[in-house]
C-alpha cells in the first residue's frame, strides 16, 4: 500500500481535474474543485509516508525476529533429538543469539 497510495492519490487528482474541466464555464467553482483535486494527492502521499510505509517496516521487522526465533528453536530441538550434551546445546544456542540479548536473558 505504501507504493500504491500515492498513485491512487494521483488518480484522484486526475478525476478531480476532469471535474474542473467540465466546469470551466463557471469560474466560481474552479477554486474549490482544483483544491479538492490536489487534496487527493496530498492524502495519497501522507497515507503512504505516515501510515503504510512505517507499518510495513514494523511488520517486516517482526517477521525477521519471528524467523530468528523459529531458527533458534528448530536448532535446539534438532540438537536435543540428536542427543547432544545440554551444555553443548546451550553454548551453541547462545552463540546464535546477539550479545545484547544474551546479557538480558542471563540476568
In the block, cell 483544491 appears at: 35
pLDDT tens digits along 7-61: 999 999 999 889 888 888 888 888 888 898 899 999 999 999 999 999 999 999 9
Sorted by sequence, the CB contacts under 8 Å of residue 30 that are 6+ apart come out as 20, 23, 24
Do the beta carbons of residue 27 and residue 62 sit within 8 Å? no
Count the helix, strand and coil residues of the chain and give each as a percent rounded to the nearest 5: 85, 0, 15
Model pTM? 0.66
- Whole-angstrom Cα distance, residue 41 to residue 35? 10
Q: What is the DSSP letter of 87?
A: H
Could you state, in order of their start, the residue ranges of all structural domains in the chain? 5-106
Q: How confident is the model at residue 101 (pLDDT cuts 50, 70, 90)?
A: confident
Amino acid at each position: 500500500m505504501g507504493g500504491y497510495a500515492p498513485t491512487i492519490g494521483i488518480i484522484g487528482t486526475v478525476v478531480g481535474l476532469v471535474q474542473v474541466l467540465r466546469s470551466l464555464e463557471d469560474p466560481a467553482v474552479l477554486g474549490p474543485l482544483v483544491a479538492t483535486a490536489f487534496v487527493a494527492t496530498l492524502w495519497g502521499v501522507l497515507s503512504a509516508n505516515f501510515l503504510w510505509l512505517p507499518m510495513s517496516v514494523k511488520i517486516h521487522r517482526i517477521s525477521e525476529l519471528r524467523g530468528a526465533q523459529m531458527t533458534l528453536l528448530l536448532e535446539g530441538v534438532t540438537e536435543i533429538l540428536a542427543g547432544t550434551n545440554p551444555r553443548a546445546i546451550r553454548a551453541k544456542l547462545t552463540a546464535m543469539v546477539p550479545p545484547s540479548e544474551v546479557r538480558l536473558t542471563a540476568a
